[in-house]
Amino acid sequence: MFMSTGFRILNRQRAVSADLVEKFSRLPVANVSDSMHRMTAAGPRLRKMHREGVLAGPALTVKARPGDNLILHKAIDMAQPGDVIVVDAGGDLTNSLMGELMLAYAIRRGVAGFVLNGAIRDADQFIAMNLPVFAAGITHRGPYKDGPGEINVPIALDGMVIHPGDLMLGDSDGVLAVPFEAAEEVYARTAAKQEAETKQMAAIEAGTNDRSWVDAALKRLGCAMPEGS
């Protein structure tokens, strides 16, 4: 196939395993983010458009012209069950990228969810159908279908770089990408953090939570404190 940068479709060469996806789906996105040193985020504009539930799956990446969904239609046709389709459409909210019909077709195809740096329409149906979807906004104005666009290329959402096959996560706190090559390490860190937080919650409930670290940190940073603190 002729490779034309800006208008091309590639095959994905790798993807995180279904086992890792299932394990990560039980962890809060905030804790995964902390385990990545709080340096990665897709921005606060991407908010959930579904009713409830978490997003987890390997990324099928799409780079689309703002307000045009031709290449997104092809991505849904290509998606494997469990894939999360991640679309960089420049964050433009003038025209929607998808609505009720595309959502129903994606569910039929087994798509695990969407992350759209753009808008949706038929918002009530996104809530009713309840497929995990994160988007930048809502508009009734429909999309064009002329291209260009790319599938399975690296994209970036608000500085968060996503490669095809990276792990995509989302919950009420937002969206996060975990790089393919770091997923096992990040999972181990996050599982340990989750265990520590479970113990801390138990201590809070028992009234035995150690708060000495707060004053210690303030003193270390040179904060003036009352006598006897």
Can you give the pTM of this predicted structure?
0.94
* 108-139 tens-digit pLDDT: 999 999 999 999 999 999 999 999 999 999 99
Over range 59-71, report the average pLDDT. Answer: 98
Q: Is 42 left (phi over 0), alpha (psi -120 to 50) or beta?
A: alpha
Q: How many CB atoms within 10 Å of residue 70?
A: 17
* 3-47 tens-digit pLDDT: 689 999 999 999 999 999 999 999 999 999 999 999 999 999 999
